[in-house]
Amino acid sequence: MIGSNLPRLSSSRQLTIPRAQSPRPTHLRSMTHFALGLAALAALSICARAQVITIDTSGKNATTADGKVDRRYQQIKPTNVQLSNTEIDPKTRIELLRTMQAEQGFAMRPLPRGHKGLTLIANGNLQPAGEPYLNMVVNEGLSVNPGDRVLITDVKFEHNKMIFELNGGPDLKHRILRHIELGGGMGTSPVVQDEGTPATGSRLTLEFKDRVPVMTGADVKALLAPLISFDVKTPVQAYTDTLPPQLKDAILSHQVLVGMSTDMVLYAMGQPVNKSREMDGQEPFEEWIYGKPPAPVYFVRINGNRVIRLEVAKIGEPMQVFSTDVVSGMMRTDGTPVMAQNTHVHVVKEGDADTDPTQSGQAPPSLANPGDAVGVHQDKTASSAGQMRPVQPAKPNPEYEPDVNPDSAPPAAPATAQPASTQPATTQPAVPAQTPAAPPAPSSTTPSSNFNPAQRPASAN
């Protein structure tokens, strides 16, 4: 490396030369210039060793100063069209010329000017892609924006290529003859008059592996689909189809997002009601106003070609201000959301769930302990205390009927067989066995349609 073996010069060391060996004054200036040149070369060599430049020509990971290249310049997804192995014949070539000549479509990506143009490999990648693609658009100029209408003005066949001239092509007709003049004597005249109008078209080359195979017009359109769409669309549909899904839904639902371009705002909201130009410190901006009260009013602040701020004013509500750019991240990815969705989210629905627990695998609610059988009658033991059992209705007493025999009394029944009464229990004094006791209060299960309260004997207090 140049300058790697040069001695290091110290600024504090002085150079002393004896008088007898000192060079002439005329040579001293040249030696000084030579020393300065060597020092410059040494500095350049040190800088070259410290800096490493990496160039990626694949187009997949191309980067610019502000991050990834716009998704419209990234590598395309290859198509999958079944192609024949037979070489194209003259009849098929004429049919393709009739089908593709003067055919109109919509550009899915920016198409640059320039004599070379873009090259699309059949069922393959796009050349160039990534940063070289962007540089071609910047250097040669832009011919067609995404979503604009494209007209195929000429189709040419080569050995293994189909060349499409779009919107007149990138070259002027008879561009060689424009430089030839004929005449004699006092003056000459050009063979072809140059009107001074530059060519604004583009060129697209469809390249095959060995030769152009036998195809139909539908096959050619399917191969060109990543760059040109031949479907029937409205201008809004043609433009939004070139955008990520989230951004497309926002435009079709007439929403403005921070980071949108002016074209996106026009497709989403149309022409503004009013425009004004102001200054925010040292930053100039243009504000587009949409809507009039009592409807919501949108203040869209634009700097250059991008929305930098959005204010939404509604009657009776505070001003909503949006200043976070959410569009740039979408345009530098493959269309997936930039912010990852939170997977640890539990959605709770309001109201009762309209589901059947027996069919969803969940057991119905129960008061039984885990492991106990539900619905099976068990004895009243210590282990089954507190367990829910089927309800058994009380059995009516046929010997006591108030309407038939009010003076009769039912025999004493065991405490366990007596049904529970809905009336409060009364305390009765102890009486001899031969004295009939007062009849108990009628049970809740005894029919009370013919019961007369006046015939009920009074209980002793």
Residues of the chain with pLDDT under 70: 1-68, 175, 196, 333-364, 373-388, 397-461
CB-count burial class (<10 Å; 0-12, 13-18, 19+) for 123? middle
How far apart are alpha carbons 58 and 126 in whole angstroms? 10
Residues 6+ apart with CB under 8 A from 59: 74, 75, 125, 126, 128, 129, 130, 131, 132, 133
**At how many degrees (to 10) do helices 245-252 and 262-269 cross?**
40
Query: Is 169 in contact with 199 (CB distance < 8 Å)?
Result: yes
Q: What is the pLDDT of residues 106-133, one digit of tens each?
A: 999 999 999 999 999 999 999 999 999 9
pLDDT of residue 31: 60
Q: What is the pLDDT of residues 296-326, one digit of tens each?
A: 999 999 998 899 999 999 998 999 999 999 9
Q: Where in the chain is the domain with CATH 3.30.1450.10?
A: 243-331
Residue 25: Cβ within 10 Å count: 7
- Which of 253, 276, 272 lies closest to 262, judged by CA? 272
pLDDT of residue 387: 60
User: In terms of CATH architecture, what is 243-331?
Assistant: 2-Layer Sandwich (3.30)
